[in-house]
Each structure stands twice: as C-alpha cells, then as structure tokens.
Amino acid sequence: MTALWTSAEIEAATLGKAACPFSVSGASIDSRTLKPGDLYIAIKGETRDGHDFVADALAAGAGGALVSRLSDRVSTDAPFVMVAHTQRALEDLAVAARTRSSAKVVAVTGSAGKTTTKEILRLAFGALGSVHASGASFNNHWGVPFSLAGLSRADQYGVFEIGMNHFGEIRSLVGFVRPHVALITAIAPAHLEFFGNCEAIADAKSEIFEGVAPGGIAVLPADSPYAGRLNARARQHGVANILTFGSGGDARLVGYEESGDGAHIKAEVVGKPVDFRIGAVGAHIASNALGALLCVAAADGDVLNAAAALKAFVPLKGRGARLAAGDVAVIDESYNANPASMAAALATLGAAAGRRIAVLGDMLELGESSPVLHAGLVSPIDQAKVDLVFLCGPLMRNLWEALPPRRRAVYAPSSRELVAGVLSALKPGDTVLVKGSNGSRMSVIIEALKAHTV
C-alpha cells in the first residue's frame, strides 16, 4: 500500500523535524478510534489537549505522531515529527495534499443538508473511482484541513464539507480546498443570531466561491429566494460557469414516488433523463440528490452510474436515520435544526402511516427572530397533520402557546423531563419524529426510545 505520508514529506510540508523515518497510511485526531498505521495529530482543543494522548495513540498502533511537545510517557526515539504548532502543521499538510492531488474536488456548504449531500456525493463518486470525503461533520477550522490531509495521491475525487457561523470562516477554509465545483445546498434562517438576516447568510455562504479553482463551476439551488444573490456573488468572484438544480434548473425533478424505505426518483440532469432509487425519503433528500448529481456532471463524471449507486444511501444518525422502538417507527433528526430543516422533517413525518407524533426541541442561534420562528412551526405541523406534539426547551414555549390544544401533548423545560411523557403516550403503529438543535440534547429521547418496547 502506498503511504499517505512519509516522515520526510511531513517535514517538508510543516518545516518540522522527524525523530526517525516512518510512513503512515491514514490520519487521526482521536487516540480511541485511530487505525494501526495512522498519523496521530495532537490537536489542542477547548477542553482537551491531544498531546496528553500521544502515548496512548502510539500504543494503539499509530504509525507516527505530529506534535509540538512531548510528555514524559513518550520516548524521544518514537516515530514523531516535532512542529512549532500542530494546528498550523495540520493546515500545512492540507495545503500539501491539495497541491499534489490530481483529484476532481467538490466543496459543499449550505444552511441545511451539507452532511447528507456530502455522503450522497461520497457514494456517487465512489461508483466512478477512488473517492476521499470529509468524515462526520468535519467542516470547521480543524475539520476541513484534517479531511484534506487524508486526501491521497491515488484519489480521483475529493468531497469536502465547509461550515460556518460567522463571516470569514468559509473564506479561510475554502482557500485550503480550492474546489473545482462549489455547491450551496440551501439558504435558510440558521445562525441568525450572528447574521441578522438571510441575505447576510447567503453572503457568508458565498465566500465558498472565493476559493474556486480557475475555470471552476458553482452549483446553486434554483428555487432558493436567494438564488439571484448567490449567482451575483459567484460572478463577483470570477466564477462564470454556474449550474442550478431545482425547478427549471440544469438538474430538475421529473417524478418522485416513495416506496418502502426509499424513493424512486426520475430526474433530468443537463438534458439527460436519469431514473434511480435512493434509500431515503423526503423532498429535501431528492433535492440533495439532484444537487449531488449535478456536481457529478460538473466534474465530468458518469451521472447514470453515479445515480445507480444511490440506492445504497441510508439516512445518517441524527439526520433522518430510521429505527424501531418495538412497533413504533422513529425518525432520528436529533443532531441539528433550523426552521427550514424542521419543515422538511415534518413533511417527511406527514407522509407516514399511523399516528404522527412530533417531539421537538429548541432551534438555537436564531437571534431576535427566535420566538416568531418557533411559533411559525404551527404551519408545517398543520400541513403534516401531526396528531401529537411534545415540546421541550424555553424557546419551544413559543410554539406550545401557538399550537391548537388538540395537538398539544406535553411541554417540559428539558428533553430529559420530556422522556416519560413521550414513552407513556406511544401506541403500536405510531411514527415519531425527534428533532432539535444538538444543544437541545434530543438524543436523550432517541436513546430512551431505543430502550423502549411498545
């Protein structure tokens, strides 16, 4: 197997000093989950310093370590490269990986659907060749360079997710990625606390265009109210090749039918009919798939073969994963929430058979508009014909007061205090949606449901 990095290459990229020659086959920042042969990168976080776990990483089989100091537990002749600062060294590796790569690179951002679309792209490009993609939601100041550092010489495609909650964050990260194709999934009122309005959010997401490689392509959501603004921002940054997905776009939905655990989608992508199945349901999933296939087309990939691979897609944990609690179906959307993703998840619940139960926690970082946006969920709840609504968190009190009494089940200050009420209300055949921002700790309810039998 060709090495991902040799110690000499790490030295050259980081201006560090290797204690001895070594090579690594992968990269890790977690001593608990690294694979034998990985380069362990000792990142100092807000609560933990990775340097405290270097000895554990080496004992677990790490092929080498990237460090800026040694603990007493690490031998001076162990395989490591000493650098001035590990975050900067990680970024140096990212730059070196991108420079040496001949892969077609796609960057993904947006207010909703980033991680799901990234995983759809992983499958789609994986049907065409060797693909490397960001792990989990590695989309921040360390996640993006870490993901790039794992891009090998042999990879033919690279897919990287870029997130933000302040101006300038995408600008600094896309400079590492330098994508050939930049996709914006959606613009929605997320992080309003920091931006104030959706136009500002669109501008912040548009920073992704600043790093597009010469001759690159922007892929935009045609049905977004901010499509024109995104288009203008792309052109301001010299991106002349612009494709859109959605109604009347370069990729558009022709037919959609849910069946079993997935959906049958008929689409037209750059003028060609594409008929495929995907292992998840919902209009938002169909939209994400259209955007992904348009990226494949933009990267000169075989769209039909890429689409055929999507039957293997399954919703991610906390982002639409399905599970059973006895005879109750559970939709796990516990990882994140904003008004747009709430509406999409509720629409998915509305297509379910049996009683429809929504268990919702606070949507965070919405600023002064938060009370109105929470109360505004009454409309998608009505449209989905939800039978019972369980709510928790101080912000969801606004929705509780706006709901008609016939839909109210239980309100509680926290997710933990809501568990007993949810479990006692369940009946065989129910479908339960659990959704909220990660800080609302809705995963507590998911874990309780997993242990419950109806």
Model confidence over 246-264: pLDDT tens digits?
999 999 999 999 987 799 9
pLDDT, mean of residues 175-198? 92
pLDDT of the residue at 194: 87
> For residue 93, is it within any domain?
no
Residue 237 DSSP symbol: T
- Of the listed ranges 113-122, 276-285, 445-454, the least confidently predicted one is 445-454
List phi, psi (to 5°) of 155.
Answer: -65, 135
CB–CB of 161/139 below 8 Å?
yes
Q: Both tokens of residue 187?
A: 């613009």
- The 10s digit of each residue's pLDDT in 7-22 is 999 999 999 999 999 9
pLDDT, mean of residues 281-310? 97
CA distance 124 to 206: 25
Residues 131 and 211 in one domain: yes
CB–CB of 74/128 below 8 Å?
no
Residue 309 DSSP symbol: G
Residues 12 and 160 in one domain: no
Amino acid identity of 229?
A: R
Q: Both tokens of residue 352?
A: 């379910």
Q: How many CB atoms lie within 10 A of CB 320?
A: 24
Is the CA virtual torsion 442, 366, 167, 175 positive or negative? Answer: positive
> For residue 95, is it within any domain?
no
Number of structural domains, the chain? 3
pLDDT of 454 over the 70 cut: no
Is the CA virtual torsion 316, 27, 179, 272 positive or negative? Answer: negative
> For residue 251, is it within any domain?
yes
Share of the chain above pLDDT 70, in %: 99
Which pairing describes strands 328-333 and 321-325: parallel, antiparallel, or unpaired? antiparallel
> For residue 17, is it within any domain?
yes
pLDDT, mean of residues 46-54? 92
Q: Mind giving me the DSSP string for 112-128?
A: S-HHHHHHHHHHHHHTT
Split at pLDDT 50, 70, 90, the class of 1 is: low
The single residue listed with the structure tokens 């420079």 is 99
Residues 59 and 115 in one domain: no
CA distance 38 to 27: 5
Per-residue exposure over 379-390, b if at least 16 CB sit within 10 Å of its own CB, e if not: ebbeebebebbb
Split at pLDDT 50, 70, 90, the class of 278 is: very high
Query: Which CATH number covers residue 381?
Result: 3.90.190.20
pLDDT of the residue at 190: 81
Split at pLDDT 50, 70, 90, the class of 353 is: confident
Is the CA virtual torsion 296, 297, 298, 299 positive or negative? Answer: positive
Residues 392 and 414 in one domain: yes
Which residues form the domain of 9? 5-86
Beta-carbon contacts of 155 under 8 Å, excluding residues fewer than 6 positions away, are 101, 103, 130, 131, 132
Split at pLDDT 50, 70, 90, the class of 193 is: confident
- The 10s digit of each residue's pLDDT in 56-101 is 999 999 999 999 999 889 999 999 999 999 999 999 999 999 999 9
Last residue of a domain, one of 86, 118, 134: 86
Q: Tell me the longest C-alpha to C-alpha distance in the chain.
A: 70
Q: Assign 3-class secondary structure to 28-74.
A: ECCCCCCCCCEEEECCECCCCEHHHHHHHHHHCCCCEEEECCCCCCC
Q: Both tokens of residue 132?
A: 């490397």
Q: How many CB atoms lie within 10 A of CB 335?
A: 21
Q: What is the mean pLDDT of the chain?
A: 95
- The 10s digit of each residue's pLDDT in 374-430 is 999 999 999 999 999 999 999 999 999 999 999 999 999 999 999 999 999 999 999
CA distance 398 to 126: 45
pLDDT, mean of residues 131-141? 91
Last residue of a domain, one of 52, 86, 120: 86
Helix (H) or strand (E) holding 419: helix 415-425
Amino acid identity of 21?
A: P
Query: Which CATH number covers residue 76?
Result: 3.40.1390.10
- Of the listed ranges 130-139, 204-213, 273-282, 437-446, the least confidently predicted one is 130-139
CB–CB of 190/208 below 8 Å?
no
Q: Which of 313, 288, 323 is nearest to 443 (CA)?
A: 323
Which pairing describes strands 17-18 and 23-24: parallel, antiparallel, or unpaired? unpaired
Residues 52 and 172 in one domain: no
